[in-house]
Structure 1
């Protein structure tokens, strides 16, 4: 129930998901007892403790331990052995991630690394938000480059000219709309664009 785990758990609760949060520290369990669906003081490295909590009845489990690789691996292994359908685990470095993958974790995430990559794109260019997928494909939010301003999508042809696709446009005070060939992009708009990371970087800074 550290910063990562609590942020994730609270967001899931906001999405009307039932959440069971487990931690060995009583103070943390008590602190979030009124915020989360269920909070339990227990040692998740203990297989029997997880069985008694009914961990195997949950569709997904997230291992958010970030201070002890040994504890993280033991907890993840327990959840995999219990047959939880989707086990997500936070890794603090590539070696840790490799171990988690080998013991059967379905998803390994690197929150610090991913946040750093995202921040680099936001700090160094015109992008306002950045989500990268595994195959160098990304979706970004940005101010429209000069090549699009005052033109329709059909006139600027971002797919043909820059190999990126304008997905949608958000004008000040208006709702987000999916981009159509006759959609006019104004200088004050915000656009959502998808494509290869390198193409998006060039498009954002040079188009």
Structure 2
């Protein structure tokens, strides 16, 4: 019940750069209430009608955050990225206010280490993560790539030619390639969980999980066989 309440509670976002506004608009689209704090007057005016609440204030000043009621939020995100000093000051303020979940954007590993040490609960590296993801998509037949840690990922891709027309049980992807086919989507249909008897079609899209290196080899194998 507590998790459900937290997911439905308003979110405080500091900074309306590309990362902040993208996050804020997505949350609003999902039905979440958002309070965005931005010290650039032009950005405040630009997004005033697009978000639930947009306030012009300097979040490096803890008193300004207190006046906005920041301490009443359970989740806050530091989207400041142009100034590491400002990012750290904002993050410290949010942690000191006792917010349960403080997320922060980091522009490099050193920045991320500082954010972690001052008490941020989650540190993200959007530019780095996007670069890693695109590199995998450019390098082979993957259509999408989600890495959960340094060794495990889930990808969306077209199937290799030698599995087309066969059931997953017949192909034995786990035994042959050390990957699992966990989902499949036929053209015009929804994704569904893969079953041992599921037949893979030529135009299907498959969801495959496994260690990153094995997935890369499977994707390269797919490219060679098509």
Aligned match of 2:123:
108
Residue 52 (structure 1) aligned with residue 73 (structure 2): no
Specify the SS of the correspondent of 2:169: helix
What's the counterpart of residue 196 of structure 2?
A: 181
Name the residue aligned to 1:153. Answer: 168
Measure how far apart 1:135 and its partner are: 4.3
TM-score w.r.t. the length of structure 1 is 0.98
- CA distance in 1 between counterparts of 2:110 and 2:150 reads 21
The alignment of Structure 1 onto Structure 2 pairs a total of residues equal to: 207
Q: CA deviation at 1:147?
A: 3.1
Query: Which residue matches 2:6?
Result: none
CA contact (8 A) 1:145 1:205 kept: no
Q: Please, which runs of 5 or more residues in structure 2 have no aligned partner? A: 1-15
| Separation in 2, partners of 1:171, 1:114 | 29
Unaligned runs of 5+ in 1: none
Q: Residues of 2 paired with 1:59 and 1:11: CA distance?
A: 18
CA contact (8 A) 1:170 1:190 kept: yes
Q: Does 2:216 align with 1:170?
A: no
Q: Secondary structure at the match of 1:181?
A: coil
The counterpart of 2:110, out of the listed 76, 95, 100, is 95
Partner-residue secondary structure (3-state), 1:194 = strand
Structure 1 segments of 4+ aligned residues over 6 angstroms from their partners: none
Residues of 2 paired with 1:79 and 1:134: CA distance?
27
2:209 aligns with one of 172, 194, 207: 194
Say whether 1:85 aligns with 2:104.
no
Deviation at 1:161, TM superposition (A): 1.3
For residues 20-99 of structure 1, what are the structure 2 equivalents within 5 Å? 20-99=35-114
Q: How many angstroms apart in 2 are the aligned matches of 1:66 and 1:53?
A: 22
Is 2:153 aligned against 1:138? Answer: yes
Give the distance between the partners of 1:97 and 1:139, measured in 2 at CA.
25
- The whole-number CA distance in structure 1 between the counterparts of 2:150 and 2:131 is 18
